[in-house]
Amino acid sequence: MSVDAVKKVTDSEKEAKKIVEDAKVKAKEIIEKAKEDADMSYKKAIDDAETKKTLLLDEAREEGERRGVPILDEADKVCEEISQKKGEDSGIVKLVVERIVNNYGNS
C-alpha cells in the first residue's frame, strides 16, 4: 500500500472516531433535555391537578352551603315552633332542641 492510501485510512479512522464521540455527546445532551422536559411535564401535571382539586373542593363547598342553608333555616323554623308550644314537656323539648341545634346545627 502506498503512503497516501495509509494516510487516507488513518484520517478516515480519526474522522470516524470524532463522529462517534460527537454522537455520544449529542446523545447525552438529548437524554438530559428529555429528562428536563419530562420533569417539567410532571410538575405541570401536578400543578394542574392541584388547581383542579382546589376548584372542585371550592365548588363542592359552595354547593354544600347552598343546599344546607334552606335545610338549616327550615330546621330553625321547626325548632322555634316546637319551643313555642306550651305544656308540661316544653322545658324538655327546649333542652332537646338546644342540644340538637348546638351539636349539629349552628355550631
pLDDT (0 to 100) of residue 95: 73
Whether residue 93 contacts residue 85, with contact meaning beta carbons closer than 8 Å, is answered with yes
- Across 86-98, average pLDDT: 66
Q: How confident is the model at residue 75 (pLDDT cuts 50, 70, 90)?
A: confident
Residue 89 grid coordinates = 314537656
| Mean pLDDT rounded to a whole number for the chain | 86
- Across 23-48, average pLDDT: 97
Contacts (Cβ under 8 Å, ≥6 apart) of 72: 105, 106
Separation between Cα atoms, residue 46 and residue 39, nearest integer Å? 11
Q: Indicate if the pLDDT at residue 7 is higher than 80.
A: yes
Q: How many CB atoms lie within 10 A of CB 96?
A: 14
